[in-house]
């Protein structure tokens, strides 16, 4: 056998992987902040699988959730658009039926599309016009909100069923079964796996809890969270809370490892893109105050920076780290390009990360924008619901109660007229290494802060007074972007 034949035989698996459509798995943790990984030097939490992914794939040093809370980030993840464009302002606000998701696009490309786990951008029941099935997925095992051990989940929009076991393990077991169904159909698979961990209230398996038995003695201050016993608010020593939270993270990490092993054992790993991120920064009950300022629900780095990892051996054969700022809004443009699908003809806030995957980009060409829209109380009462309220009622119970209710309902409203007060709310823009943060203050002028994120990652030094021209420029750009978002909010993007 000559050398040319030997070389061809050696390269055949690689050539096949590049020519076949890649499988795509997009995973996200719930309230999992940037610092809560071993590879980012956390002093306690153990994430050996994520650490291995970081060491062998593409590690994003600066990956952002599009919003510092869950429902809005999830809307951006699915659509490539800022959540305010579709009225997903905060947790419990749904997105809209006219939105185009990555599942819609990849379904057109022949993918078998599955959603597993937390949904939280509308009710998951069959009747809902914004359920996973209605928004492009072919199958789902989903929850309206978050979940803990022994979760109640809805399969394909049906009545909730209790699944016994650790929730991350359950989702991965179901993901592997879905992969088998896609293979039988001869189709590539696209999966969105949104874990319930490590959102509070916390619980863990004995073997995972034992890894953190030293923490209760180290962190004794009281923190607020939900009681697993009552479903209502309680206070507990932070060390006990961290022990359970980190046990959840470790269990989620192990479940991701189970999925990776399955792909490897079945010859699928080479041409499967695996992605992982969090949906917002670490929750306040667990934040230890380093290395970034703020936590979940804030517009500082601690509220929006999350882990960001990609493995795809066929396209990323060597480990790399990138300092390019990327966001959950970039996921739809990226997977659409990978699948050869045309982007929706409407404003997008994300970009195709192909150049980052290939190591050809060193800085993001466009700004990143963040904004917490504040629906006016009086105006909200006058607004017409975008979706009939009965279709927005959730069915899958969870531990945390709201108004003594164990399920979650959703809301969304028509916004036909935009006023000046619609521009308010905490907001920020990152252009290059500079970040402008604006907060309204009661009875006074807005608080304006400017940070150099390259020199001051902890956002300790406000440069606004020293660089007024840069502040003005960034304010102008932020306002222009808000104009575009508010136009989308009126429904203008859905007009023919």
Q: How many other β-carbons are positioned within 10 Å of the β-carbon of residue 444?
A: 7
In this prediction, residue 437 has a pLDDT band, given cuts at 50, 70 and 90, of: very high
pLDDT of residue 441: 85
pLDDT of residue 375: 80
- The rounded mean pLDDT for the chain is 95
pLDDT of residue 383: 86
In this prediction, residue 14 has a pLDDT band, given cuts at 50, 70 and 90, of: very low
Q: Is the pLDDT of residue 46 over 80?
A: yes
Q: Is the dihedral of CA 430, 434, 439, 445 positive or negative?
A: negative
Indicate the range of 3-12, 320-329, 389-398, 411-420 predicted with least confidence: 3-12
In this prediction, residue 416 has a pLDDT band, given cuts at 50, 70 and 90, of: confident
**Rounded distance between C-alpha atoms, residue 100 and residue 123, angstroms:** 17
Strands 272-278 and 23-29: parallel
Q: Is the dihedral of CA 258, 248, 228, 305 positive or negative?
A: negative
Residue with tokens 């291995």: 52
pLDDT of residue 17: 45
In this structure, what token pair is assigned to residue 8? 């061809």
122 CB contacts (<8 Å, ≥6 apart)? 94, 95, 128, 129, 130, 131, 387, 392, 410
Q: How many other β-carbons are positioned within 10 Å of the β-carbon of residue 393?
A: 16
Q: Is the pLDDT of residue 2 over 80?
A: no
pLDDT of residue 382: 76
Rounded mean pLDDT, 266-288: 98
- Give pLDDT tens digits for 63-98: 999 999 999 999 999 999 999 999 999 999 999 999
Q: Peptide bond before 198: cis, by omega within 30 degrees of 0? A: yes
What pTM value is reported for the model? 0.95
In this prediction, residue 213 has a pLDDT band, given cuts at 50, 70 and 90, of: very high
Kindly report the backbone phi and psi dihedral angles of residue 440, in degrees, each rounded to the nearest multiple of 5, phi listed first.
-70, 145
- Give pLDDT tens digits for 141-185: 999 999 999 999 999 999 999 999 999 999 999 999 999 999 999
Q: Is the pLDDT of residue 15 over 70?
A: no
Structural domains of the chain ordered from first start: 20-366 (3.40.720.10), 371-494 (3.30.1120.10)
How far separated are the first and last CA of the chain, in Å rounded? Answer: 62
Can you list the alpha helix ranges (DSSP code H) found in 321-436? 331-338, 354-357, 377-382
- Give pLDDT tens digits for 99-154: 999 999 999 999 999 999 999 999 999 999 999 999 999 999 999 999 999 999 99
Rounded mean pLDDT, 3-19: 45
**Rounded distance between C-alpha atoms, residue 246 and residue 292, angstroms:** 19
Question: Residue 225: helix, strand or coil by DSSP?
Answer: strand
**Rounded distance between C-alpha atoms, residue 232 and residue 210, angstroms:** 26
Rounded mean pLDDT, 450-471: 98
**Rounded distance between C-alpha atoms, residue 43 and residue 36, angstroms:** 9
Q: Is the pLDDT of residue 378 over 80?
A: no
List b or e across 117-126, with b for residues whose CB sees 16 or more CB atoms inside 10 angstroms: bbbbbbbbbe
Rounded mean pLDDT, 283-290: 95
Q: Is the pLDDT of residue 496 over 50?
A: yes
In this prediction, residue 374 has a pLDDT band, given cuts at 50, 70 and 90, of: confident
Share of the chain above pLDDT 70, in %: 95
**Residue 251 CA: distances (Å) to CA of 171, 282, 318, 399, 421:** 12, 17, 27, 19, 44
């Amino acid at each position: 056998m000559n050398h040319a034949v030997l070389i061809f035989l050696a390269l055949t698996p690689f050539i096949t992987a590049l020519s076949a459509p890649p499988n795509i798995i997009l995973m996200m943790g719930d309230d999992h902040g940037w610092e809560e990984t071993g590879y980012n030097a956390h002093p306690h939490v153990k994430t050996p699988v994520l650490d291995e992914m970081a060491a062998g794939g593409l590690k994003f040093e600066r990956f952002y959730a599009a919003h510092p809370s869950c429902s809005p980030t999830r809307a951006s993840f699915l659509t490539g658009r800022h959540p305010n464009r579709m009225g997903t302002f905060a947790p419990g606000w749904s997105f809209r039926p006219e939105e185009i998701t990555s599942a819609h696009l990849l379904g057109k490309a022949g993918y078998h599309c599955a959603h597993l786990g937390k949904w939280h951008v509308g009710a998951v029941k069959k009747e809902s016009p914004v359920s996973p099935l209605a928004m492009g997925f072919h199958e789902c095992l989903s929850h309206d909100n978050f979940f803990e051990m022994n979760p109640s989940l809805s399969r394909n929009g049906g009545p909730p069923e209790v699944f016994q076991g650790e929730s991350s393990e359950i989702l991965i077991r179901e993901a592997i079964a879905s992969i088998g169904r896609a293979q039988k159909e001869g189709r590539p698979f696209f999966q969105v796996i949104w874990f319930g961990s490590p959102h509070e209230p916390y619980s863990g398996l004995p073997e995972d809890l034992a890894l953190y038995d030293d923490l209760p003695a180290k962190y004794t201050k009281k923190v607020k969270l939900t009681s697993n016993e009552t479903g209502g608010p309680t206070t507990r020593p932070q060390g006990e809370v961290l022990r359970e939270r980190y046990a959840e993270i470790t269990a989620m990490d192990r479940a991701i490892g189970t999925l990776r092993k399955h792909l490897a054992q079945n010859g699928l790993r080479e041409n499967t893109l695996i992605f992982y991120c969090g949906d917002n920064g670490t929750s306040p009950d667990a934040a230890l105050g380093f290395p970034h300022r703020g936590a979940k629900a804030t517009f500082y780095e601690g509220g929006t920076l999350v882990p960001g990892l990609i493995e795809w051996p066929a396209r990323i054969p060597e480990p790399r780290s990138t300092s390019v700022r990327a966001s959950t809004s970039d996921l739809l443009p990226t997977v659409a390009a990978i699948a050869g699908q045309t982007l929706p003809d409407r404003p997008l806030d994300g970009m195709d990360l192909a150049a980052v995957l290939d190591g050809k980009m060193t800085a993001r060409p466009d700004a990143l924008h963040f904004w917490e829209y504040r629906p006016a109380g009086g105006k909200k009462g006058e607004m017409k619901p975008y979706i009939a309220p009965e279709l927005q009622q959730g069915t899958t119970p969870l531990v945390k109660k709201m108004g003594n209710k164990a399920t979650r309902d959703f809301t969304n409203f028509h916004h036909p007229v935009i006023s000046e007060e619609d521009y308010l709310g905490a907001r920020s823009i990152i252009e290059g290494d500079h970040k402008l943060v604006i907060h309204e203050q009661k009875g006074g002028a807005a608080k304006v802060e400017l940070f150099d994120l390259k020199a001051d990652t902890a956002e300790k030094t406000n440069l606004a007074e020293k660089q007024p021209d840069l502040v003005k420029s960034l304010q102008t750009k932020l306002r222009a972007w808000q104009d575009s978002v508010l136009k989308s909010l009126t429904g203008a993007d859905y007009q023919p």
